[in-house]
Every structure is written in C-alpha cells, then in structure tokens.
Structure 1
Amino acid sequence: MAAPKKGRRSPGGQGRPGRVLAFILLVMVALTGGMFAYGHFTPRLGIDLAGGTSFTLEAKNEPGKPNAITKTNMNTAVGILERRVNGLGVSEAEVQTQGKNHIIVNIPKGTNAEQARQQVGTTAQLMFRPVLAAAPAGTMPQPQPTPSASGGSGKDKKGGKSSPSATPSAKPSGSATPGGQGRAVTDALKAPQAPKPTPTPSAPSQDLQKRFAALDCSTKQSRSNAAKAADAAKPTDQVVACDKDGKEKLLLGPVAVDGKDVTGAKAVLDTQQAAGWMVTLKFNGKGSKTFGNVTGKLASQPDPQNRFAIVLDGESVSAPSVRQAIDGGSAQITGNFDQSSANDLANVLAYGSLPLSFDIVDESTVSAALGGEQLHAGLLAGAIGLALVVVYLVAYYRGLALVALASLACSAILTYTLMVLLGPAIGFALNLPAVCGAIVAIGITADSFIVYFERIRDEIREGRTLRPAVERGWPRARRTILVSDFVSFLAAAVLFVVTVGKVQGFAFTLGLTTLLDVVVVFLFTKPLMTILARRKFFASGHPWSGLDPKRLGARPPLRSSRRRPSASTDPKEA
C-alpha cells in the first residue's frame, strides 16, 4: 500500500486529480469574479487599437550650452517625461527618442490627453523665484512707489500718510506647524486679491514696473508671450509672469532655488483639513540649505513679498506664502487642493527639471481605424491557424484532441481574464504586438500537449497499458516542457528588458502566456489525462481514442518478450 500513497502525493495530481482540477477551476472563477469587481470586461487598448494623440518634441540648446543635446541628456529626458505622463494615470504611454534631437510621445485615447499635453509641453527648467508684487490678471495703473495700497487691514494714517515701516511689522497669516517643520500655504488656487504692489528691498526697474502694469494675463496669447519672455530671461533677471489659471500676474525676483535640487514630491491627504490634499517635497543637501535661507528671509516680509513662485516654462504653477524658515530639507504646500490639482503640482515638482528644453513641433491625432483593420486581419489569421491546429489534432490524435482543446480553452480563459485585470492594476494595455504574442503562445501551448501525448503513445508502443503509460510518460514530458518554456520565457524577459515601446507589449504577453502554459499543463492537462485513463473508452484503446495499440504498432506485452531468446534453437540461422 505504500507505493500507491506515494503516487497520490507526487506532482501532477495523479493520485487526486479531481482536487487539482477543482483548484484550477476555482482560480478561473475567481479571476472572472475579479472582472466584475473592477467593472472591466475587456482589456484596455493601446494607442494603435484605441487611437490617441501623438506629440513630437524637438530639443533645443540652452543659452550658453551649445552642446547640451547628447544621448545621455536625451535618455534622461525620456525617463523624466515618461514618469511625468504616467504620473497622471496615463496607461501605455510611449515615450521614445527619434533621431538625435526628437522625442515621440504617444498617449492612448481614454486618458486626459489635454492634461498630458500640458505636462509634456512644460519641458523647461523648474525654478523657485520670490514674489516682488502680485495683482489681478488684467491691466492696471503703474504701481506707485509708496506702500499706501498694501495692507487692507492697516489703519495707520497719521498725517494722511502711511509709514513704510508699518507694513513689515505685520505678521504673515497662519502659524508654523509643530515639530519645527515649516509649512507653506498656497494662494494660487484661491480667488485673486486686490493689487498689492508693495516695494521690496530690490526694487524693480521702471521699465519692468510698466510691463507688469500693462500685462494682461486674462488672454491666452498674453500668457504665452509672458511665459516665453520669462523663460528666455537669465536666472539673475527679474521677470513678470502669469499664473497657470490666468487669474493673477506676478512680478518675480531672480531665481532663488533651482528645480534640480528637488529630489521628490508627492500628493498626500492633509489630515488637518477635512477631505483636503497637500503636496510634500524634499530637497537635496544644497537645495535644503538654500531653501532654508530663502524661506527665512521671505517669512519676515509682508504679503505678497512672503511668497515664492514655482515657475515652469516661464509660468507660475503655484505661488505659496511662507510662514517661517523651512529647514530640514522638506516642506509642505497646503491650500485649496483637490486630488487632481495636488497630483499636478507634485508631478511638476518631481519631474519638472529636464536637462534640455523642448518645443512641441507636431501634434497629431492617431486614428484607431488602421490598427483595427490590422487587428481584424491578425485575429482572422489566428482563427484560421487555430482551426488548422484543431483539424490536425482531431485527425491525428482523435479522442486526445478533446484534452488539447479543453486545455487551450483553459489557457485562453486565464490569459483573457489576466489581461483584463492587469489593465486597472498595473496599466497594461493591449496593442498589436501584444496580440501577436498571444497568438504565438497558442503554438507554444499546443506544443506542450503534443510532447506529453507522444510520450504516452511511446509508452503504449512499448507494450504498457494506458494508466502506467500516463504516469511513466509524465516525468519525461515534464522535463522537456519545462526546458522549452524556460527558453521561451528567457527570450521574452530579455526582449522586454532591452526593448522599448510596443515591442515590450509583445515580450510581456509572450512571457505571461508562457508561464500560463506551465500552469495549464501541470494543473489541468496532466490531472485530466489521469482521470481519462481510468475511463473504458481510453483505457481499452478504442480506435477513436487516439491510443489504439494496433494503430500505434505496439509490441507484445513485456512479460511475453522474455520468451523470445529461447525461441531460437539454432544460433546460426540468422
């Protein structure tokens, strides 16, 4: 009795194949239930199947850096742009170089392409500039050199004239957070305030004040012109800029902190505000020291001189005010943020600084019609190939063809459900190369069945009955299947690592289906064969079972072959 017990515990489920089949069926039911839980019943499609938007970015040399366009800088820019676009939740976005100075960005349909375009288009250096003056977006009279217009709550009017020293004595609104960590509060997303052209220690020139007064940020063209002028200015220059919403215009001082000194930023829930969001950011050693010194000086200034603007491509994406010196290399930006606006600002802070500047030289909409036609042709070719495989299996293996078809159906269900679930889980999107990988996997899976079937038939040719043939043929077939699938998976893994773009979709699908082939053969095909070997139709070698000993040319039983040597009476007759 010991031998049968060992047989029941060995791999492949020959002892208790029903339990193994029940397990794989439960897995398929669970994956199907996962599709209902997510509410997704079809895979997410890539840009070639669903359509989308394609951008072409052209790199340009920075002033004073004529040789900045290098392979290293281009690859760095690709990585930053890819993280920036994917940070918006864009799935299957493709970012890759083309030639020496171009980058192609493909964004599938179904994502916020306009928001992604803004993120991709803002490719200049990220800078922190102190605010010298702030006003509503429209034009205004030239700012007066006295602070009489500032401090809405101030009432120091002795002799009909305010004292300049009264304004600096005012405390910034709010208080610092406990624990010694500074806290910055953004006003950029709130309603614009009244003009506060309070002079600063480094007063802007008359020409700059005239430009600030004449600037109208309420129009898109004016904002674009102001952004280009500010972007072209030197870091040591004072500039005028608009905020990204076109509600406020700012007069900004020289660059105080370089955006390259930001090492990370993310949007998190603000536990001190109900349903509020905030942005946390961290600096490197150099940026931490500089940021601490700058915020220490800004905290002692009145509004709006206690604010610093986060400038990208000459446009202010946020202009928070400072309550106290922010040391320690980390800070928090809070205010009227929702999740989307907090994520936008965090992406700008985390991925804003690129080694090069880019211009969008081409923007086009990609139609899904061509990809749909190619997909239809590919699926038709796959269906024809699958039909030929089925015809061959039925003609050659007969009853065993049912096992192969059931195993192919099991593999198809697992593959489809996983592709659907991987969409919302990791952003996987199905493109044409991925479909090609899935079609190629049909041949890999069918090959595994054929290897096992031929091992069983070889054992029957040796004179064994079906049940021992199923068990004796399995170890040899298992070794061959594992080696074959390992080579296929290794090729897919190498292809996935060394390639970019759509080819990775082919490699990912090929690797996934190769792993599923091992799962199906071990947990479905082998247990199913063990069960069928106990059925009379297969065990008796029915002519339509595909295991007929006569058709296979089986030898006589092994026990009768021992009599063959004694049958020859004359050794010279040969």
Structure 2
Amino acid sequence: MAAPKKGRNASAQSRPGRSLALILIAIAALTGGMFASGNTTPRLGIDLAGGTSITLTAQNEPGQPNAINKTNMDTAVDIMNRRVNGLGVSEAEVQTQGSDNIIVNIPRGTNSKQAREQVGTTAKLYFRPVLATDVSGAKASATPSPSASSSSSAKTGDKASPSASSSAKPSASATTQGRAVTDALKAGSSPSASSSPSASASSSASPSASASTDPATAKLQAEYATIDCTDKAVRAKAGTGVKPTEPTVACGQDKNSAGQWQKYILGPAEVAGTDIKKAGAVFDTQSAAGWKVTMDFTSGGSKKFAAITGKLAQNQPPQNQFAIVLDGQVVSDPSVAQSLSGSAEISGSFTQTEAQDLANMLKYGALPLTFHESSVTTVTAALGGEQLHAGLIAGAIGLALVVLYLVIYYRGLSVIAIASLGVSAILTYVLMALLGPAIGFALNLPAVCGAIVAIGITADSFIVFFERIRDEIREGRSLRPAVERAWPRARRTILVSDFVSFLAAAVLFIVTVGKVQGFAFTLGLTTVLDVVVVFFFTKPLMTIMARRKFFAEGHSWSGLDPKRLGAKPPLRRTRRASAPVDTKEA
C-alpha cells in the first residue's frame, strides 16, 4: 500500500503549475472585469470623499407609544434610501444606529439642504385616479391632442377587487373608449361615469376640447408629452412638489412589460395613506391565484375608497385604474371592476416578495414616526484626504518593515513571500473596486486600517510555512521532501489562525454599525484572500522553487542552508538494529 501512496503524492507534487495557472487566470478575469465595467478605483466613503452626515432620531406619535420598532425603522430606511438616491446620489448610505436613530451619509456634490428636507419628512402615500398612461415611458414626438387617444397604449395592470375573481382587464382599444384627458381634468376630483364615451371618441371632440383647454391643463399635457420616465433624474422630480388636490404627471415601473417605465397623467388624490388601517400579503389558497395584497381602511377611508372605486368601475381602461403613489412615484396601478369599501384586495401575478413590498408600502407609506434632526456634520474631502494620506504612509512603513524583515531573515525565501504579498494586494484592490457598484462597499478610513492589519496576517501565514520547512531541514531531510512534509502541518496552523481572524471579523461586522463595519468587512475579506493566496500561489510556487538548484542545494543566500540551520546528518533508510536484551536477575 505504501507504493501507490507515494505515486499519488509524486503526481500531485509534479503539477503545481495548475494551481498557479488557476489563480493567475482568476486575477486576469477580475482585472479585465474591473476595466470593462469602468470601475478602476474603489468607491470612497464619506470620510474620504467628503460630504454630509445627518443623524435622525425617531419620535413616537401621540397615541402610538410603540411605533418605534424594527419594522418601522427598516421601512423608514428603505424610503429614505429611495429618496436620497432619487437625488442622483447612488453612493448615499442610509442605515440604522441603535433602536431609534438613522444615519444618512451623503457624499459631496449633493445639495445637502435638499437632501435634509427629503430624508427628514414623513413619506406621503396617495391613491390617485389614472387619466392617461403610456407604457413606453419615453417622451412623445409631439404634444398629444386632448382626445382620448393621447394615451398611446393601455396597460394590463394589477386588479383591485373584493375577491380574487372579480376583475376587469383593459382591452387594446381602451384609450379610445374612455373620456378625453381634457374632459377628465375638467371633471374635478375624479373621472366621472357620466362622460359620454362616444363624444370623446369622435373626431369632433378634439377641436372643441383643444379650444377650451385652460393653461393649467395645457401645461400638464405638455409635460406628459415631453417627460421621459426612462431618465432617472426625470423620475426623481416627476410628481413631487404637487398638492394632493391637483392633477399631476408621474412615473412608475410596469412589471407586466418587462420592467419598462411608464408615464401617467393622474387626477387629484382621493384617498391618503393615513386612511389605510392595515395591509398585508397573503397567499390565495382557495383559487390558487398566487399572492395578493389585502387592505383594510378606516371608517373615513372606507367611504372615500368606495366613492372613487364606484366612479372608476364605470369607466373604460385605463381610466378605471387608480394609481398608488408613494413620494410622487407610482408603485402599483390596479384596475377596478366594482365599488369597494371597508377592505379590498389587489391581485396580479405577484411574487411573494412583490406582494410583501407593496403591502409594506401601503401599511407604512405614511409612517407613524416623525424624525428629529439630532446632528448634521459636514466632512471635508481635505480632512479625509489628510487622514488617508497618513494612513497610507503608515501602511507603507509597515509593509517596508515586513519586507525588510523577510529579506534579512529568510533571504531567498523572501522572493516567494513578497510575490505572494503582491498577489494578495492585487486581489484586494480589484475586489474592492468591483464590490463598490456590486454591493455598495465604500472604502473608508477604518477599512483602510483593516487592509493594513491584513498585511501582518498574510505575512504570518508565510512565516508559519517557511518555519515548518526549516524544521524539516533541521531534521536532516532534503528540500523537496521537507516542503511536502511541512505543508500539512503548516496548512492546519494557517487555517486555524485565519478561522479565528475571520470569526472575529464576522462577529464585529454583525454587532457593530457604521464605519466599524468597514473595518470588519475588509479584515474578513483579506483573511479569506490569505487562504486563497497561500493555497493556490505560495505553496505551488514553493514546490516549483524547491526543484531549482539554488534552493534545493541549500545556497547560503537561499534561506535554507542546512549548515546555518544546524541540520542533522541526512536521514537514511536503514533497518533499525535490535536492542540488546538485558538478562533479568531472578
């Protein structure tokens, strides 16, 4: 059995080039992805890039002493994140701190006053009737006429009904059967069922409507014709700053049209988010129609909802739909088949996540929380740059001392250690650059500190391996057998050490918030990379170098000179002599 084992080991030792090729291919692929994506530098945090840090403290509303809870705080973070990033600040960070604080970090280049106004106000949720809609979401080539054809296409949206079975699906010709947009706006608060479909559909309706169009309606129609909902900046402004009693133009994403953006003309708000008593996502087990959203209204909200749905149910699509508008953006636009009151359901091929998200928006769109601005701190890029400069100098000094120690103590082996450090540094930099847009990782000062600490962790792994090899040489073994015998023992020590470091980083990441998480994340990332580099680069490279004469014969500058290490005479395979047998006395 000994011979086959030896053969297998020899086969494994003779192919270290595979591991080296694998890690080099991985480095090339990651580097190519970095340049292809255009993200060639790590994303900087607020302490390095500069910006504004806002601390908001939640306060209970009168009569709701238990409103400050994890669910409400998480929902507030989601809404604030959507608001601040709607300003075009994709690098903004919104996170909870403790049980009642929310920290908003906004990098420089943003209107901090506008951002403070956006994140500090309670979210506004309204139900508005849909007057016209276009699934394309892009601006039209010409201003639409005030006839019903101004809505270029009808949308097959979600359905609102007291039961999953009652629904009305819009037809392709829906826009020619409803009222003219101008007439709908003149009707007041909502589309009226008394409008004559034939009058709006006739060709003679357009001139008369156009002639009587008031300036406000003409402005609204012009905005609808030119708005481009595919533009993120345009979407962020659409529907904001409009009074609930006024019609508006808004944008929303159509999940039934491969996620295309859709533009709307919406009537004045009929129901507010505060009129919803509760909402939830449930699975329809009776008809197996999938997930749906249920809503219960207050007594006043029930009356309002019954009035508007009664009017909408008599209209043709898309004017039988109402839009659920959160902070100016349409999050859903179900159609109505009959008057609804008290409670209602929204169904429409929801996934569980979509149903739960919509239910959360309905339930917490108007949050039962107000926020007090506890502090606002402005961080200048110059201050962060100075700190980064000092940190990089400290890191460079530490790295230089490590390299100097390796060269003096390990001599030729230091080439392997320095090359491994270089590979680890390249992988760390590339991954940081890629993780910025991928998961929102931002390089802050604590993260830089974590990367500097990782230099010592990585160097420690090399030292453990080298010392194991030198111990085997001291026992009288030649270099190649010494490398293979030392590796299992060194591997076990390295894995235990790195596991402890990774566990500490993971615990620190979980129990802390803010910038300390950046330190923990970087420490954990570099610890994992240390294992990868040692297994796929350092060990294979050491195996290849052991075949070179300079190292194999123990050159005085190789760091593996048997004489300098005080090695024993070479081990030889000889049969152990039998020990003399002492005569036992009686």
Normalising by the smaller structure, the TM-score range is 0.5 to 0.7
- Cα pair distance change 1:242/1:260, threshold 3 Å: farther
| Cross-structure match for 1:402 | 415
Measured in 1, the distance between the counterparts of 2:484 and 2:422 equals: 24
| Cross-structure match for 1:45 | 44
In 2, are the aligned partners of 1:243 and 1:249 still within 8 Å (CA)? Answer: yes
| Cross-structure match for 1:97 | 97
In 2, are the aligned partners of 1:69 and 1:356 still within 8 Å (CA)? Answer: yes
| Cross-structure match for 2:445 | 432
- Cα pair distance change 1:433/1:199, threshold 3 Å: closer
Deviation at residue 78 of structure 1 after TM alignment: 5.4
Aligned: 1:507 with 2:524: no
Write out per-residue CA displacement over residues 216-257 of structure 1, whole angstroms, 9 at most, x where no aligned residue.
x99xxxx99997xxxxxxxxxxx8467588x99847467685
| Cross-structure match for 1:26 | 25
For 2:90, the aligned partner's letter is V
Measured in 1, the distance between the counterparts of 2:433 and 2:269 equals: 51
For 1:419, the aligned partner's letter is M
- Cα pair distance change 1:198/1:23, threshold 3 Å: closer
Measured in 2, the distance between the counterparts of 1:426 and 1:191 equals: 46
| Cross-structure match for 1:330 | 347
Aligned: 1:547 with 2:560: yes
Measured in 2, the distance between the counterparts of 1:121 and 1:428 equals: 25
| Cross-structure match for 1:197 | 188
Q: Counterparts of 1:467-482 in structure 2 under 5 Å?
A: 467-482=480-495
- Cα pair distance change 1:254/1:82, threshold 3 Å: closer
Measured in 2, the distance between the counterparts of 1:182 and 1:244 equals: 24
Secondary structure of the corresponding residue to residue 487 of structure 1 = helix
Measured in 2, the distance between the counterparts of 1:519 and 1:114 equals: 46
- Cα pair distance change 1:174/1:395, threshold 3 Å: closer
Secondary structure of the corresponding residue to residue 524 of structure 1 = helix
In 1, are the aligned partners of 2:444 and 2:518 still within 8 Å (CA)? Answer: yes
Measured in 1, the distance between the counterparts of 2:549 and 2:147 equals: 98
| Cross-structure match for 1:232 | none
Gapped runs of 5+ residues in structure 2? 132-145, 160-164, 193-215, 221-238, 251-264, 283-290, 350-357, 580-586
| Cross-structure match for 1:484 | 497
Secondary structure of the corresponding residue to residue 470 of structure 2 = helix
Measured in 1, the distance between the counterparts of 2:481 and 2:435 equals: 41
Aligned: 1:443 with 2:417: no
Measured in 1, the distance between the counterparts of 2:249 and 2:376 equals: 21
Measured in 2, the distance between the counterparts of 1:435 and 1:84 equals: 28
- Cα pair distance change 1:122/1:331, threshold 3 Å: farther
Measured in 2, the distance between the counterparts of 1:200 and 1:559 equals: 100
Deviation at residue 424 of structure 1 after TM alignment: 2.1
| Cross-structure match for 1:283 | 293
Query: TM-score, structure 2 length as denominator?
Result: 0.65
In 1, are the aligned partners of 2:190 and 2:308 still within 8 Å (CA)? Answer: no
Write out per-residue CA displacement over residues 45-100 of structure 1, whole angstroms, 9 at most, x where no aligned residue.
111111233333343443433x34646577445554466469768346142337x7
Task: Choose 111-120 or 490-499, whichever is displaced more.
Answer: 111-120
Deviation at residue 200 of structure 1 after TM alignment: 10
| Cross-structure match for 1:207 | none
What is the identity percentage for the equivalent residue pairs of Structure 1 and Structure 2?
Answer: 57
In 2, are the aligned partners of 1:92 and 1:429 still within 8 Å (CA)? Answer: no
For 1:376, the aligned partner's letter is H
Write out per-residue CA displacement over residues 304-344 of structure 1, whole angstroms, 9 at most, x where no aligned residue.
9967575668x897997955349752369xxxxxxxxxxxx
Write out per-residue CA displacement over residues 163-213 of structure 1, whole angstroms, 9 at most, x where no aligned residue.
xxxxxxxxxx969769965579999xx999754337999xxxxxxxxxxxx
Write out per-residue CA displacement over residues 87-144 of structure 1, whole angstroms, 9 at most, x where no aligned residue.
768346142337x75432112347897886665244246354779x9xxxxxxxxxxx
Q: Tell me how many residue pairs correspond in the alignment.
A: 466
Query: TM-score, structure 1 length as denominator?
Result: 0.67
Aligned: 1:452 with 2:465: yes
Measured in 2, the distance between the counterparts of 1:411 and 1:449 equals: 12
In 2, are the aligned partners of 1:58 and 1:103 still within 8 Å (CA)? Answer: yes
Gapped runs of 5+ residues in structure 1? 134-151, 155-172, 202-214, 228-238, 265-280, 333-344, 567-574
| Cross-structure match for 2:276 | 258
For 2:407, the aligned partner's letter is V
In 2, are the aligned partners of 1:261 and 1:284 still within 8 Å (CA)? Answer: yes
In 1, are the aligned partners of 2:278 and 2:363 still within 8 Å (CA)? Answer: no
Q: Counterparts of 1:236-251 in structure 2 under 5 Å?
A: 240=245, 250=268
Deviation at residue 553 of structure 1 after TM alignment: 1.0
For 2:462, the aligned partner's letter is F
- 2:405 aligned to 348, 367, 392, which one? 392
Measured in 2, the distance between the counterparts of 1:25 and 1:54 equals: 41
- Cα pair distance change 1:381/1:300, threshold 3 Å: same
- Cα pair distance change 1:292/1:2, threshold 3 Å: farther
Deviation at residue 19 of structure 1 after TM alignment: 1.9
- Cα pair distance change 1:350/1:263, threshold 3 Å: farther
Measured in 1, the distance between the counterparts of 2:277 and 2:169 equals: 19
Q: Counterparts of 1:77-476 in structure 2 under 5 Å?
A: 79-81=77-79, 84=82, 90-91=90-91, 93-97=93-97, 102-109=101-108, 120-124=119-123, 126-128=125-127, 181=167, 195-197=186-188, 240=245, 250=268, 252=270, 258=276, 261=279, 283-284=293-294, 286=296, 296-300=309-313, 310=324, 324-325=337-338, 328-330=345-347, 352-358=365-371, 365-476=378-489
Secondary structure of the corresponding residue to residue 367 of structure 2 = coil
| Cross-structure match for 2:8 | 6
Deviation at residue 453 of structure 1 after TM alignment: 0.3
Write out per-residue CA displacement over residues 270-300 of structure 1, whole angstroms, 9 at most, x where no aligned residue.
xxxxxxxxxxx9623647x979967642424
Measured in 1, the distance between the counterparts of 2:377 and 2:469 equals: 57
| Cross-structure match for 1:157 | none
- Cα pair distance change 1:432/1:253, threshold 3 Å: closer
